[in-house]
Structure 1
Amino acid sequence: MATLTPYLCAKDAAAALDFYVRAFGAEETTRWTDPQTGTIGHAEFVVDGARVMIADEWPDGGVFSPTTIGRTPVSLVLQVQDVDAFFERAVAAGATVERPVTDSPHGRGGWLFDPFGHRWHISGPETPASRQELQDAVGDEYVIS
């Protein structure tokens, strides 16, 4: 299986890292800070075994955060063992609920925005479902192939 590592940009990467530690139980593993500006050029953290990279905005390189551009078109899907506890901790730390945690044909999950504009789908372990079970669940709204 291939590995895909998201690389986020935040208006204040140091504050974002602090949030991810509090909200997601993240462990920061790397931080490169510009000694003159205090900006973070690169940092990494791990959440439940998933590695994520982050940096402050870099306008000269065309790198802007969701805060600057308005809203992100990207969603990050993070699968955790206890979706309810994880979700509650994130909200208590300052995340905004987009869709509360619910059950669906493929498992339990909910959507939230972190304070830095990134959209997260927090999901529990997938529940195996056949294509027919999924089609029955969505009805005529979609055709699953």
Structure 2
Amino acid sequence: MTTITPYLTVHDAHAAIDFYAAAFGAVEVGERYEEEGRVGFAALSIDGAPLFLSDEAHEYGAWAPATLGHATGAVALTVGDVDAAYARAVDAGATVDREPSDQGDERRGWLVDPFGHRWVISTPIGATQP
């Protein structure tokens, strides 16, 4: 079985963990690795989907979007109700990029989290949960 897990570098991992919990319902799983006040590794789960993150560590080539001045990619998250998830993320501090709209067979919206990472949140049309 092949899996792929986003491993995000952020400027403040402690705040990012709190944001992802508030915005996307993330829970921390496993042990967090910290050294010298920096998070070297934290594993989160968003409805069973893994997300890893760490603080910047320039000596290991780990740079956050806040330092670079831009994101280098995006994280795609499929949820049961894109409108509710999008609103929750914005309420938690994300910046609106593109409001949710019907696009092909999905309802999709784009936002930027407080740490500079872009997210595309979507729900297959007809699959929205009440």
TM-score by length of 2: 0.91
Shift of 1:8: 0.3
CA offset digits 1:82-101 (Å, max 9, x no partner): 11111100000000010000
Partners of 1:50 and 1:112 lie apart in 2 by 19
Instruction: Write the letter of the residue equivalent to 1:48.
Output: D
State the 4+ residue runs in structure 1 displaced beyond 6 angstroms.
none
Residue in structure 2 matched with residue 24 of structure 1 by the alignment: 24
Residue in structure 2 matched with residue 112 of structure 1 by the alignment: 111
Instruction: Write the letter of the residue equivalent to 2:10.
Output: A
Residue in structure 2 matched with residue 6 of structure 1 by the alignment: 6
Higher helix share: 1
Residue in structure 2 matched with residue 92 of structure 1 by the alignment: 91
RMSD: 1.3
Shift of 1:126: 5.9
Shift of 1:12: 0.5
Shift of 1:62: 1.4
Where in structure 2 are there 5+ consecutive unaligned residues?
Answer: none
**Larger relative contact order (CA 8 Å, sep ≥ 6):** 2
Higher strand share: 2
CA offset digits 1:11-67 (Å, max 9, x no partner): 101110010001111111131111xx2110100101122101000000111110000
CA offset digits 1:98-137 (Å, max 9, x no partner): 000001112101000000000000000367xxxxxxxxxx
